[in-house]
Amino acid sequence: MGRDQNQFADALVTLSFMAKIDEANIVQPISIEIINYLVHYCSVEGEVDGNPWYYDIKQFIQHQKYPPRASNTVMKTL
């Protein structure tokens, strides 16, 4: 068994200890899909303003000004 398979087995054991199942509960099966590409490719969204993801960070470092559309969360992050 490879290390990746051991991690998966460990995660299933952890889930089994966390779930509280009584005789009255109906247990639904878990569906597992194996994806052969990196997850961060699935979550990449297109740039709305046409600038790279680091553009606002670069502008903040150069000019010490927040973007005009920046929310409080963005300001804290920068």
Closest Cα partner for 65 from 52, 54, 78? 78
Contact at 8 Å (CB) between 7 and 13?
no
What are the C-alpha distances in Å from 57 to residues 40, 48, 73?
20, 16, 14
Q: What is the pLDDT of residues 18-35, one digit of tens each?
A: 777 777 777 777 787 777
Span between the terminal Cα atoms of the chain, in Å? 43
pTM: 0.38
CA-CA distance, 3 to 15, in Å (whole number)? 19
**Per-residue confidence (pLDDT) for residue 10, from 0 to 100:** 85
**Per-residue confidence (pLDDT) for residue 36, from 0 to 100:** 76
**Per-residue confidence (pLDDT) for residue 15, from 0 to 100:** 80
Q: What is the pLDDT of residues 40-70, one digit of tens each?
A: 655 656 667 778 878 888 888 999 888 888 8
- Amino acid of residue 9: A
**Per-residue confidence (pLDDT) for residue 44, from 0 to 100:** 58
